[in-house]
Amino acid sequence: MEKAMNIGVLGAGQLGRMLALAGYPLANRFTFLDTTGHPSAGIGDVMIDTDQKHLASFLEKVDLVTYEFEHLPVALVQAIEEHRPVHPSSEAIRVCQNRAEEKALFDRLAIPTPAYRLVESAEELEAAARELGTPVVAKSVTEGYDGKGQAVLKDPGEAADAWRAINHPRLIVEAFVNFVREVSIIAVRGRDGEVAFYPMAENQHVDGILRYSIAPMPDLNDSVQQTADGYIRALLDELDYVGVLTLELFQCADGGLLANEMAPRVHNSGHWTMDGAVTSQFENHLRAIQGLPLGDTAARMPTCMVNVIGREGELAAILALPDAHLHRYDKSERAGRKLAHVNLLAPTHEALLKRVHACAALLPEAPEPRFSFE
């Protein structure tokens, strides 16, 4: 048998926590390097390193390195790569951190996206809004996630205000897409190039934050899943990627898919896999980076992930729901903060929707669940 590995994780939030929980049965050990000073993993060995002075002692402990969020200094990841294997690589982080680089990669691989322009002034933003036709969404090319660093322009005249509000030297401006639903595809690629795809999920966002993910979708045409598989496989191969990759997409009325953005890591829209798939995204990420065979990605039955945001609600009542699985992150309550998620399973989508509505009713301020197939 191979010896147990100590896996270094850059970041120490709930994604790192869930990676560790998936890795302990394989006798992995985990050392987290937290650069924010606010770790919440509550598990494994957490090293707080806000001034990058503890990198050497982190590297001494670990056999290989992964990360749970991509907003890391690329230079830091490149420096680590000189001493330890890092999966996914710094190149994946570099591309995913910059929306302009990401769109250029999509274009190069013939992955369709909403029409977009890159702008470097309020005047260029106004011109782009006129050219694309409002409404448009303007986003900083770097440093934006969960709806931060962006603005919606309903009229080109709002360009100056939007430019000031985002306060970034370069923006990407995207045409609004008349989409039927937001979906995501999660795939995992091993060190040997083997790829496994999860069933696509339908996602409901409110104010830029994911609230519900349901998979598999009852009305998804096989050809649409195959198209998405093809897009994400092209990205995985182009980046010589190892680990889990997520691609968020818009599905249009004609069934066509437009890529929104990708994330080089395990992802909130894949939390349903913890209870609803044969092998979770977290276990498969660890299998991939350690060079182990990938696990089966099939769904066991219809599953919906419900995010618990801001306040936790009645835990006992949630756990009393049939086939409900609560995953708490051990975080204090705060408006807009991801505190936990509930995975609900049912034999049919009809039964699942009833459970989702019952669960939402137990969560303070949870939005009404709405799915395109209802």
Residue 85 DSSP class: -
- Tell me, yes or no, if the pTM score tops 0.85: yes
- Residue-wise pLDDT for 81-106, tens only, equals 999 999 999 999 999 999 999 999 99
Residues 6 or more apart in contact with residue 2 via CB below 8 angstroms? none
Interval 347-367: pLDDT, tens: 999 999 999 999 999 999 899
Q: Domain residue spans in the chain?
A: 6-86, 115-175, 179-360
pLDDT at 264 over 70: yes
Residue 302 clears pLDDT 90, i.e. is over it: yes
CATH number of the 115-175 domain: 3.30.1490.20
- Give the percent of the chain with pLDDT over 90: 90
pLDDT 10s digits, 42-87: 999 999 998 888 999 999 999 999 999 888 889 999 999 999 999 9
CATH number for the domain formed by residue range(s) 179-360: 3.30.470.20
DSSP-derived secondary structure letter, 368: P
Q: Residue 66: which residues within 8 A CB-CB, separation 6 or more?
A: 7, 8, 9, 10, 19, 86, 87, 88, 243, 285, 289
Tell whether domain 6-86 is in CATH 3.10.129.10.
no
